[in-house]
Every structure is written in structure tokens, then in C-alpha cells.
Structure 1
Amino acid sequence: MLALIAGQGDLPRAVAKAAPEPVLVCALAHALPDRVEPDLVFRLERLGGFLRALRRRGVTRICMCGRVTRPALSLRALDLPTLRLLPRVVRALRRGDDGALRIVIGILEGAGFQVLGAHEAAPDLLPPAGILTAAQPGPEAAALALLGDRVSAAQGRADLGQAAVLRGGRVAAQEDDAGTDAMLARLAPGQGGLLYKAPKPGQDRRADLPVIGPATVAGSARAGLDGLVIEAGGVMVLDRDRVLRDLDAAGMYLWVRERGA
């Protein structure tokens, strides 16, 4: 049986809908999902007991998906099974995003669960490589995409965001903890350029794989961008049919591209 540890945003609902089997939707009490109804809610201080409860329900696989903010940890609220995990939980809370996720995945695997990425639980969310829209990238797009590769590598080394806006041969905006849509909303409208989005090089793709959806298209259109470039096999597309319709209506392109191509 598959359990989703669901955060906020559209991804948990998309994974639950696209998964080939029924899923048990779980959520941290401090970060309840806003698109799906959880079957089971737990606190970080009860993580050990929560994992035992999953085993009793027959869960063998876990997928983490959606935005989750870091909770405060109350030592007085710890249960005994979580007390044994405390050193690793504290290390995770002190690390950057990638380091924290690696520790959490290690805890889940150490408890006997197989950890799946959202793209593994719902593989149809990954689009095929190529240009999927009627509009085609212009001559500037290839050079900007190569710039995006370099920016992505630098953001990965600094454990920063997964997206950037590139215009006129330079970086116009970079994603921070607020996310891609917030970055686009802050961007002054202009003309031309592209949104580049890809996983951080070397990140564990079983958690925090990038996503685009209709809101990303709307924000990119408001910013006056020509299109979107996403890494093939590394960025999920939510509501793909609508995304492509909206891009075609706006005369924008979607280029699903191998890094370095």
C-alpha cells in the first residue's frame, strides 16, 4: 500500500488521482494540505508512532509531495518511538532543504519503507522530451537555456531555488523559498525571455522534484515571457492538457529539454 505525506499545493491531489492504486493520504498537523483531505494527521513529535501506525495499516511505500514548512519541535511532546529518532530529526531541521530531505528519506528507509518520488508514484506527470506547443523557441532560446543550466548549477551548490527568469542574455529573477509563482508575480512585466526550471544538480529526486502548472503559465504570460524551458525527466507538469492549451492561446512555447542540449 502507498501512503502520501501530503503538503500544500496541487501536486498531492495530482499524484493521488494519477496513482494506479488507492493511496492513504497523510499530513503533518502544522502544514495541512489545501487540495486533498488527509486520512491521517500526525505531529513531528509523534513521527515514530506514526510510522508504526503505517506499518499496521499495511503501508510499504511512502511518497512525499507538496510544500511543507519546517515545524517547531516540542521536546515535551515526544513519544518513545520518536525519541530514538531525535538526533536525526534535529539534524534535519538544521540542514538546508536537500540535506534535510536526505535525512528524512533515511529515516523512512530505516523504518522499512520504500520511498518513491512523485514522478514514480504517478509517472504520467512527466512530459515527453521535445517542444510540445505550436509556438517554437526563437533563436535566443538556446543560448538562454544554456545560461539556465549554469544558473541552475549555481543555485544547486547554494541549495537555493529551482527556477529562474532569463532575459536579454542575463538573469532577470531567481526563485527563493517563496516559490516560482511568487518569483513571477514580483517580476516587472517586460518583453521576451523565458522561465527556466530544473531540479538542482545532484538532488535526491524522490522529494522536491520541480513542478509547473496552469498558474506558472499565467504568471509567465503576465511577465511577457516567450515560453518555458524545463528539464526532460526532471519537471512534472500538472494538468498538462490545460497547460498546453493555455500556452497555445498565449502564443508561448514549452520546451522539454535535456540539460546541456
Structure 2
Amino acid sequence: MTLALIAGQGGLPPRLARALDGTSWRALHLKGFPPEAFASEGFRVEHLGSVIAGLRNDGVTKVCLAGRIARPRLDPAAVDATTMPLVPRMMAALRAGDDAALRTVVAFFEEAGVEVVSAQDLDPTLLDLPLIGTPLDRDRADIFRARDVHTALGALDIGQAVVVAGGQVLAVEALPGTDRMLAALAEPFPRPEGGVLFKAAKPDQDRRIDMATIGPDTVRHAAAAGLAGIAVPHGEVLVLEPETLRDRLVETGLFLEAV
């Protein structure tokens, strides 16, 4: 066994499990956040040092972190001896943004001699975009405006998605995520017609562990919000359930554009 999948929730871990079928791998998850559709071993964040040491002793040389988890709370009383030296860095990371927390976890694995690989390394088809439709000139103007806003906000570690309509910023993704942001836009309020969702990893994010993701639910929520389409950077976004996503685009009339 050479690979461990640290799995969270959502559609990405099951997609990777299918891609890894027939190979030697092991799945683990943070207690309270198990993956869907396959078995996994739970562990506490207070035992992370022991988990990493155990994986290394078992011959694991690569690890992939994939899926959605909430930021865990660290109970100092539950920290084991192997994890104790990591606690100051863990506490500092948990007080910082999500990017800092993930980079710290990556550093722990790398310092133990375990290579961190990306979901797209394990399944390159995750980057395949089912491009549909053609944006109007007004949509392209909104795409470029949203991209500029996304870039400007990237240094603040806020979110991966922006919605713009008629040049006006309607929403910026925060902790609740893209779907919650789009659901809020489905409520009636004075706004320009149409609009686009632009989604991408933040400029300084480590693409091995925190790629932006879209799927059929993204299309469903974007349509319910009255948007005209979705734009993403080519090669920078993971696509879940691409066939269903394509069908949803056709059904709703939304476009999916690569920029």
C-alpha cells in the first residue's frame, strides 16, 4: 500500500475511489466528516501526528486530501504524545485562514517524507470541461469583471466564487460555500438581469489540496438564481459528474465557458 486518501464529504472522494479501484490504497477521514459511498477509518485531529507516523510506518509514500470538511476544534486535553510537538503550529494555523491551515497540514506530511498529490493527479479526467453555449457580449463583460474581483479578493482568503450581473457584484463566496451563496441569490431583490458565476481557486492556493469544484448542483443553483452562465479558468477547476452537468446545462440553457 503506497497511497492514502484523506477523504472529506461531497462528490470528489467517491469519484477518486472509483478511479483508484484495482490499486492499493487506504482511506481515512476526520471524525465527524466521513465520505459518502465507501468505507474509511476515522481519526481525531488531536492524533494527526500519530496518524502520519502510522501511515509512514505502513509504507504509505503518497497522500491525497480531497473533499469538504469543517474546520475542526482542537481539544488540548486529547492531544497524544506524537502530535504534541505539532500543536503550536496547528493552533496558529487554525486561527488563520483555510489556506494557512491546509498548508500547515501539507507541511506535516511532507516533513514526514510523505508526498502530497492532487486529485487531478489521481484522475486527470476531473479537469475535462463539458463546454456548452456561447456567452453574449454582456456576459463576457461580466466574466471579466468577476475575474478581476476574484483576483483582488484572493489575498484576503475569502472564497473561490463571485457573481456579477450588469457589471455589479451581486455576491462573493464566503465560509458557507458556493451553493449557499447561489441559493441566497434566488430570493427576489432589485438587480440587473442575467449575470455569471465565476469560480476558481484563489491565486495563492495550493492546487494539490484545494482546487475549486463544480458539478450538477452548481448548475441547478445558478439557474435558480437567474444567472446566464458559469465561467471557470481552463485547467483550474475540478468537474464532478460531467455527463449530468452537461445535461443540466442543456436543460437550463446556461453556458459553461473556459477563460
Using the size of structure 1 for normalisation, the TM-score is 0.91
Name the residue aligned to 2:242: 240
Contact 2:155–2:204 (CA under 8 A) maintained in structure 1: no
Matching residue of 2:233: 231
Amino acid at match of 1:95: A
Distance in 2 between the 1:121 and 1:94 partners? 31
**1:143 and 2:137 correspond:** no
Q: Distance in 1 between the 2:254 and 2:64 partners?
A: 33
Q: 1:117-173 deviations in whole A, cap 9, x for unaligned? A: 222222110125xx711x211111221111112111122111101001111111111
Structure 2: tracts of 5 or more residues without a match: none
Matched pairs, number: 253
Take 1:27 and 1:111, find their aligned partners in 2: how far apart are those partners?
Answer: 19
Deviations 1:197-248 (A, max 9, x none): 0111121111121101011110011111111101111111100111011101
Match for 2:199 among 170, 184, 197?
197
Aligned CA RMSD, in angstroms, stands at 1.7
In 2, Cα distance between equivalents of 1:37 and 1:100: 26
1:22 Cα offset (Å): 4.4
Are 1:157 and 2:155 counterparts? yes
| 3-state SS of paired residue (1:51) | helix
**How many Å separate the matches in 2 of 1:198 and 1:19?**
26
Q: What one-letter code is carried by the residue in structure 1 that aligns with 2:230?
A: L
**Distance across 2 between alignment mates of 1:79 and 1:113:** 21
Q: 1:215 aligns with which of 217, 223, 243?
A: 217
CA deviation profile, 1:42-88 (whole Å, cap 9, x unmatched): 11111111112212332111111111112221222221111122222
User: 1:205 is matched by which residue type in structure 2?
Assistant: R
Percent of aligned pairs sharing the same letter: 42
Alignment-mate amino acid for residue 137 of structure 1: P
**Secondary structure of residue in 1 paired with 2:171:** strand
Contact 1:155 1:162 in 2 (8 A): no
Give the conservation status (yes or no) of the 8 Å contact 2:56–2:112.
no
* CA distance in structure 1 between the aligned counterparts of 2:86 and 2:126, rounded to whole angstroms: 33
**Amino acid in the other structure paired with 1:132:** L
Deviation beyond 4 Å, 4+ runs, structure 1: none
Instruction: Look up the match of 2:10.
Output: 9
Aligned to 1:206: 208
Paired with 1:226 and 1:56, the residues of 2 have a C-alpha distance of 52
Provide the rounded CA distance (Å) in 1 between the counterparts of 2:37 and 2:83: 26
Contact 2:64 2:117 in 1 (8 A): yes
Instruction: Determine the C-alpha separation between the residues in 1 that align with 2:227 and 2:4.
Output: 38
For 1:252 and 1:22, how far apart are their aligned partners in 2? 40
Q: Match of 2:83, SS? A: helix
Aligned to 1:54: 55
Q: Which residue of 2 aligns with 1:27?
A: 29
* TM-score, scaled to structure 2: 0.92
More moved, 183-192 vs 77-86: 183-192
Counterpart residue number, 2:102: 101
Once residues 179 and 246 of structure 2 are traced to their aligned partners in structure 1, the CA distance between those partners, rounded to angstroms, is: 18
Cα distance in 1 for partners of 2:245, 2:12 equals: 15
Judge conservation of contact 2:34–2:40 (CA < 8 Å) in 1. no
Aligned partners of 1:23 and 1:220: how far apart in 2?
Answer: 36
Q: How does 1:181-196 map to 2 (within 5 A)?
A: 181-187=179-185, 188=187, 191-196=193-198
